[in-house]
Structure 1
Amino acid sequence: MKNNGRLREAREGYLSNDQAKIRRSHLPHRIREDLRHAERHRGAGFTLPEIILGGQDGLVNVLGVILGVAAATNETGIVLVAGLAATFAESISMGAVAYTSTVAEADFYQSEVERESWEIKKIPDGEKGEVRELYRSYGFSGDILEEIVTKISGNRNVWLKVMMEQELKLHKVNRKDALPSALIVGFSALVGSFIPLLPFFFLPIKTAIFLSLIISSLTLFAVGYYKAKQTLGRKLFINGLEMLSIGMLSALTGFLVGKLFNIQ
């Protein structure tokens, strides 16, 4: 979900049934500005899924680790060491995954641009045929279809854009976005990881376990609720429970493993 003002307003209008917002978001000048801005900044910005991915992964994994260690040892110091190790390892790992995946996507996109550019130059008739079949699948035929093919193939930049976005369903990914993406995912994982760990710094272990479960449960439910509110606009409670259930399943698994290998 990119931070796009017009699309955000359209989404909010739809979710709240605000007809005025919907109409404002579809004014011609705003659409034109939006498209120009998208061309200049495509790939920039951070998404809600990235933040949720890092935060949820950090919270759930560290919660499972500390409950497992707490069940196995009943020692606050050991729980904190294990929790901190998991916190920083998880944050670095998630950031690294975000970085390498963005780089891989950018490299793949660039390789496809080069391939499509070569095909447009070397086998234009074949590429025109692909455009023709693509728009035929959209319901165009006859003279209108041929006019579309002629218009698109008359501009190399437009032609390449159509092949990338409509045939291959690929959108530009910039290598320069890899580091910011890694930082936001890694930081989200760090914040999420500390949520279940904090009570163990200040409270006896049994109280800390209970409070950690409560805080983590409320956080997971709130994240699921918020995500549904921002994307679906409905089933808020169900989505909150869904995310809560996923987190608690991980916590239960960690706890049971700790009990199984009890080393007290």
Structure 2
Amino acid sequence: MEHQEEHLESSAWLTDIVIGMSDGLTVPFALAAGLSGAVSSTGIIVIAGIAEIAAGSIAMGLGGYLAGKTEIDHYNSELKREYREVEQVPEKEKEEVREFFENLGLSKDIQQQAVEEIAKDKQKWVDFMMKYELGLDKPDPKRATKSAMNIGLSYVVGGLVPLSPYFFIDTPVEALKISVVVTLICLFIFGYFKSRMTGIHPWAGALRVMLIGAVAAGAAFGVAKIFE
């Protein structure tokens, strides 16, 4: 019978969605809850919520872009350094390759044979050093742009969930009640899949994410009522 691995692999795309959706569900939810305790018009909440979603998605997207760009710049910088070291101190680099195979438990003859084979091709040699010495995989050159789009759009989608009842209900408190139910359900579902992806117990993770959102919204609503 063929063996199949059951590990859930997290892609960069899923990571971006988790980042954007997590803040998108929580921050506008807390803002809408806080305003519901301070104003009497859902129109104000809708305008403020849309403004926050726009600003938040841009800020989060920009953060994702800069993180992706930094990853690419770091890889390219290390790549140039490895090429330079292979050319200027090849024996030192060969010794590092040999030590890698030694740590795998290979015999000295096999170690030497593997080193000489890898050193025949400079590009493969550098790629080997990048991956196994530095632990760096070649990043997608479009990673920064993709990350910005994924995070920004996820933030918008997440932010519209708690804000949506305010589009259809005139009374802020009544809209908040619907928003609380809908958003907490979404937070629970989101937390469940996020926890599965990261290897955490899904039910415990889902409950934790939901409680964080509830506490944030409750605190915002309470503070607004106090200052009102």
TM-score of the aligned structures, taking structure 2 as reference length: 0.88
| Separation (CA, whole Å) in 1 of partners of 2:27 and 2:193 | 21
> Which of 13, 22, 45 matches 1:79?
45
Q: Which residue of 1 aligns with 2:79?
A: 113
CA distance in 1, matches of 2:149, 2:7: 31
Structure 2 portions without partners, runs of 5+ = none
Q: Establish whether residue 236 from structure 1 lines up as the match of residue 202 from structure 2.
A: yes
Tell whether the 8 Å contact from 2:19 to 2:151 is kept in structure 1 after alignment: yes
2:178 is aligned to 211
Q: Equivalent residue for 1:187?
A: 153
Show structure 1 runs of 5+ residues with no match. Answer: 1-8, 17-44
Shift, 1:174, TM fit: 3.3
Matched, 1:223 2:200: no
Tell me the alpha carbon deviations over residues 30-70 of structure 1, each in whole angstroms, 9 at most, x when there is no partner. xxxxxxxxxxxxxxx85212112111211111111111222
Where 2:137 maps in the other structure, the secondary structure is: coil
- The residue identity in structure 2 corresponding to 1:210 is K
Amino acid corresponding to residue 135 of structure 2 in structure 1: K
1:56 aligned to 2:56?
no
| Stretches (4+) displaced over 6 A | none
Mark the CA change 1:72 to 1:155 in structure 2 (over 3 Å): closer, same or farther.
Answer: same
Residue 156 of structure 1 aligns with which residue? Answer: 122
- CA deviations over 1:111-152 (Å, ceiling 9, x no partner): 111111111111111111221222223333422222222222
Distance 1:10 1:245, change over 3 A: farther
- CA shift, 1:76, in A, is 1.9
Partner residue in 1 for 2:60: 94
Which residue of 61, 69, 73 corresponds with 1:103?
A: 69
Q: Are 1:128 and 2:94 an aligned pair?
A: yes
| SS of residue paired to 1:72 | coil
Deviation at 1:235, TM superposition (A): 3.0
Q: CA deviation at 1:209?
A: 0.8
- Asked if 1:137 corresponds to 2:107, the answer is no
- Paired amino acid for 1:129: E
* Counterpart residue type for residue 218 of structure 1: I
- Give 1:74 deviation, angstroms: 4.0
CA offset at residue 103 of structure 1?
1.1
Aligned-partner Cα distance in 2 for 1:108–1:154: 26
Q: Distance in 2 between matches of 1:99 and 1:238?
A: 32
Give the Å deviation of 1:184: 1.7
For the residue of structure 2 that corresponds to 1:73, the secondary structure is coil
Matched AA of 1:63: F
Letter in 2 for 1:212: S
- Ranked by relative contact order (alpha carbons within 8 Å, sequence separation 6 or more), the top structure is 2
- Secondary structure of the residue aligned to 2:38 is helix
CA RMSD across the alignment: 2.3
1:68 — aligned with what?
34
Number of paired residues? 223
2:135 and 2:215 map into 1 onto residues whose CA distance is 36
Q: 2-side partners of 1:256 and 1:10: how far apart?
A: 51
Partners in 2 of 1:74 and 1:114 — Cα distance? 61
Q: 1:110 to 1:15 in 2, by over 3 A?
A: closer
